[in-house]
Amino acid sequence: MAEGIRDKVAVLGMGCTKFGERWEASAYNLMVEAFVDCLADAGIEKKEIQAAYLGTHFDEVNVSKGATPLSMTLRLPFIPVTRTENFCATATEAFRAACYSVAAGVYDIVLALGVEKLKDTGYGGLPDITSVDGFMTGCNATAPGAFAQLATAYHKKWGVSMETIKDAMAHISAKSHANGAMNPKAHLRRAVTEEQIKAAPMIAYPLGLFDCCGVSDGAAAAIVTTPEIARSLKPNQDMVKVKSLQVAVSSGEEAGYTAWDGAHFMTTRVAAAKAHEEAGIKNPREEISMMEVHDCFSITELVTMEDLHISPKGGACDDVLNGFYDLDGQVPCQVDGGLKCFGHPIGASGLRMIYAMYEQLLDRVPEERKVKNPRLGLTHNLGGTPAWNVCAISIIGKD
């Protein structure tokens, strides 16, 4: 009988570059920067790594296909290296593969690294990734247009006024900007007011400029091992263990049938329920300490609060406006600025989110952006569109 991943893997070390418009650095430079940071944190030598996973999405404009770019750039010692790709969940998939390798007893120490150079693509936003034959009827092919439809569907489903939804979205974006402004590794580091957000140019109603995350360059990495090895290497440090790793991918039901209301993410609801069960969480609203969710757009974060079984259905706006997800709230969300402000290099975002949780759990952040008594941190990636997507959820926590 399958037992799941809970407490079978420990995070030995993590590293993360500064995200942003890194014109001065290639993807290979970013890989080295994240790896050096991660290796130093793990306190081991490179020769002790037994396998590695590279997460990157737009390979043609990034590091090319295959896994040799990681192996050759880091001069890894002829070990197995595999490339992962699954839209915006790419880095989480690299982390999941590394954790499963350790949990299976195949390797003792494994590296996961995600990297992306999006500012060099020549696009203002993301290249087109929305073509899925047979499942695009009625879908807007632009990302803002597709995600904006969540707001109108949510309004219709729950009877929440569009003004309240826009107020909640403005609070979400202002909160993320405030958190990102305090983070030296974040891409966007300027606080903005809710008034500025609501007065910004419209991109796709009701999403304004500040409701949309930008694109960034960056890399993040993790080294994982068994709890026994982690304890022997770091006997005097709190141990961060993996509590859950879950992925759910659309079957075509959302876009191909009429059962889906367009106001939520079916994959997130499924993956979240399984993740909570695997982690032994009975009441997510009370037990989750903090979150990093896939805020590609502010409306995405809003509906995700309900899909993660934190806010009651139809009640996310009330929680947001009451400060429930603020840095000093009950379940702080986007503690490092999120995709919105820390940045969104597709192949690195999942590991960056885990890095944010890891740093909080080990009390490595300044007092002004510290979460009170963190125990469990949840991360959530969403790749694709509301009508078809992949969702990846990880939960890590102190021993």
Name the amino acid, one letter, at 58. Answer: F
Residue 3 lies in a domain: no
| Each residue's pLDDT tens digit, 337-395 | 999 999 999 999 999 999 999 999 999 999 999 999 999 999 999 999 999 999 999 99
Q: Is there a single domain that holds both residue 192 and residue 304?
A: yes
User: Among residues of the chain, what percentage have pLDDT more than 70?
Assistant: 94
Quote the number of domains for the chain.
Answer: 2
- Helices within the chain (DSSP H only): 27-42, 68-74, 90-103, 143-158, 162-181, 194-198, 227-233, 253-256, 266-279, 284-287, 298-307, 316-321, 338-341, 349-361
Task: Give the span between the Cα atoms of 303 and 389, in whole angstroms.
Answer: 15
Domain containing 268 — which CATH number? 3.40.47.10
Domain span at residue 223 reads: 10-121+217-233
Task: Give the span between the Cα atoms of 100 and 4, in whole angstroms.
Answer: 10
| Each residue's pLDDT tens digit, 117-167 | 988 876 666 655 555 554 444 444 688 999 999 999 999 999 999 999 999
| Each residue's pLDDT tens digit, 192-224 | 999 999 999 999 999 999 999 989 999 999 999
Q: Is 131 exposed, middle or buried (0-12, 13-18, 19+ CB in 10 A)?
A: exposed
Q: What is the pLDDT of residue 320?
A: 98
**Phi-psi map region of 307: left, alpha, beta (phi>0 left; psi -120 to 50 alpha):** alpha
Name the amino acid, one letter, at 67. Answer: A
Query: Between these two residues, 127 and 231, which has the higher pLDDT value?
Result: 231
CA distances from 277 to 98, 164, 234, 244, 342 (A): 21, 33, 29, 9, 30
Q: Is there a single domain that holds both residue 116 and residue 151?
A: no
Q: Name residue, tokens 């990102």.
A: 180
Residue 130 lies in a domain: no
Q: What is the pLDDT of residue 102?
A: 98
Q: Is there a single domain that holds both residue 259 and residue 153?
A: yes
| Each residue's pLDDT tens digit, 293-312 | 999 999 999 999 999 999 99
State the first-to-last Cα distance of the chain, in angstroms, to the nearest integer: 24
* CA max distance for the chain: 59
Residue 4 lies in a domain: no
Q: Is there a single domain that holds both residue 20 and residue 60?
A: yes
Q: Is there a single domain that holds both residue 71 and residue 99?
A: yes
**Phi-psi map region of 384: left, alpha, beta (phi>0 left; psi -120 to 50 alpha):** left
Q: Is there a single domain that holds both residue 356 and residue 393?
A: yes
Residue 183 lies in a domain: yes
Residue 34 lies in a domain: yes
Q: Is there a single domain that holds both residue 223 and residue 350?
A: no
Residue 200 main-chain phi, psi, to 5 deg: -75, 160
Q: Is there a single domain that holds both residue 83 and residue 191?
A: no
Q: Is there a single domain that holds both residue 174 and residue 26?
A: no
Residue 5 lies in a domain: no
Q: Is there a single domain that holds both residue 194 and residue 343?
A: yes
